[in-house]
Structure 1
Amino acid sequence: MSSSTPKVISEEPLENKDSKWIKLVKLTYTTPDSRTRPYESAIRATRPKNTDIDSVGITAILQQENDKGPPLILLQKQFRPPVNKVCIEIPAGLMDEGESAEECALRELKEETGYVGTVEEGARGVVIFNDPGFTNTNLRMIRVNIDMSRPENQSPQPQLEENEFIECFTVPLTDLYSECERLEKEGFAIDARVGTIAEGVELARLWKLN
């Protein structure tokens, strides 16, 4: 990742008035038995107007030229302060005002990885709520194909922001579950989206689904 090991060096309370990205709210809701109860929640403060999602997650599959080799899934290593670990993630990013989920996916893919991809018809996945018992933040999964025969994908150059430190790597899609197990043992945190995809691949293998 870098010459120094990232780590959290302090922790202190944060008030809503000092927070740019998230807010804590107290909800009051009615239960199925008609009782009224309070609930504490975090919300993302940056969701653009006229959209129902905060961000996109990108399932980026590298297609080898002439199908020489298995399909590869593009993953990332990125330090995440809330868990104080380097996380294994898929490319992802926040929505910009006025853009579609597909446009956001292709933009974030180019910025974070340097790859140029295409969103195939029907590749607009479902909206996923990351941790609905805690927050309303959500994302739409978008499947993107990366054609490795394209000249711009021969030597991709990410366009990272100053505070972004992202390392990209690929894993054969068929090996994703075992790779997640190996990376977890090495001390990495497995992002829920990566773990969910890996579980799906493993279930398809165990149950011989086509």
Structure 2
Amino acid sequence: MKDHNQPSQHPFYEETLETKPIFEGKIISLQVDTVRLPNGETATREIVRHPGAVAVVALIDNKMLVVEQFRKPLERVQVEIPAGKLDAGEEPEAAAKRELEEETGYRARSIEHLHSFSTSPGFAEEVVHLYFTDDLEQGSVHLDDEEFLTCEAITLEQAMAYIKEGRISDAKTLLAVYAWRMRTLTGSF
């Protein structure tokens, strides 16, 4: 009997026959894999490799900290929760605390892991680790040289309005707002 807990034993598993590197960038790399399908045929899969990222639902005075920045792939400004990629060998919790302070100027005295999720499993391996804190103290902003953003604290009502307006449209921030709403309504995530 096959053990379906082992990915290679699942009936839908695709065995990698060949990997061809296409591009190696600062943040992502792209490869094309040739795979054997469950029916024995072969196919190609374009795969984006990414080191992973963190994001933080940070509440202060019952308001959520968000940043507003231009996102080139979308050609528009977005309102998002503080987030960033994992550095090589960095633990997600440490990265979450680092990104929160770098982008907002607030330091988390304590932080709780809520969930980790895949952003686009059809073509990318990126996993975002989502954290929560409402235990903040003043720190200092340390933006990267190529990072331009503003930070604000918004109410749940403002967040819902930003979603309707399209100012909030990325998955991690949508998830954060709805998790915050659930916590407000039920007392827990």
- The answer to whether the superposition gives a TM-score over 0.5 is yes
Q: Residue type matched to 2:23 in 1?
A: N
Q: Shift in Å at residue 79 of structure 1?
A: 0.8
| More strand, by proportion | 2
Answer yes or no: is the 8 Å Cα contact 2:45–2:123 preserved in 1: no
1:74-128 CA-to-partner distances (Å, cap 9, x unmatched) read 11111111111111111112223343211111111111111111334xx212221
**Structure 1 counterpart of 2:47:** 41
- Looking at structure 2, the residues matched to 125 and 200 of structure 1 have their Cα atoms a distance apart, in angstroms, of 9
Partner of 1:29: 35
Q: Higher relative contact order at CA 8 Å, sep ≥6: structure 1 or structure 2?
A: 1
RMSD: 2.5
What SS is found at the alignment partner of 2:107?
A: coil
AA of the residue aligned to 2:171: A
1:67 is matched with none
For residue 116 of structure 1, give the secondary structure of its aligned residue in structure 2: strand
2:150 is matched with which residue: 135, 152, 167? 167
Which letter does structure 1 place at the counterpart of 2:143?
Answer: L
Residues 119-163 of structure 1, C-alpha deviations (whole Å, 9 max, x = no match): 34xx2122211111121112211112244xx5xx2xx64111221
Change (3 A) 1:146 1:40: same
Note closer, same or farther for the CA distance 1:125–1:74 as it changes in structure 2 (3 Å cut): same
d(CA) in 1 for partners of 2:26 and 2:41? 34
Aligned residues: 166
Give 1:22's aligned amino acid.
Answer: I
Match in the other structure for 1:16? 23
For the structure 1 residues 189 and 177, does the alpha-carbon distance in structure 2 shift closer, same or farther, using more than 3 Å as the test? closer
CA contact (8 A) 1:115 1:146 kept: no
Whether the 8 Å contact between 1:174 and 1:201 is mirrored in structure 2 is: no
Q: Any conservation in 1 of the 2:31–2:48 contact (CA below 8 Å)?
A: yes
Q: What TM-score, normalized by structure 2, do the two folds share?
A: 0.74
**Are the equivalent residues in 1 in contact too, given 2:105–2:141 (CA < 8 A)?**
yes
2:72 counterpart (57, 81, 85) = 81
- For 1:112, give the aligned amino acid: E
User: Hey, what does 1:12 align to over in structure 2?
Assistant: none
Paired position in structure 2 for 1:60: 58
Cα distance between partner residues in 2 of 1:198 and 1:134: 26
Structure 2 distance, partners of 1:98, 1:90, is 23
Aligned-pair CA distance for 1:34: 4.1
Residue 175 of structure 2 corresponds to 196
Q: Give 2:11's aligned residue.
A: none
Residues 55 and 130, structure 2, Cα contact 8 Å, conserved in 1 = yes
Query: Quick one: structure 1 residues 109 and 35, their matched pair in 2 at CA, closer, same or farther if it must change by over 3 Å?
Result: same
What is the CA-CA distance between 1:189 and the residue it aligns to? 5.6
Q: Extract unaligned runs of 5+ from structure 1.
A: 1-14, 48-53, 65-70
SS at match of 1:16: strand
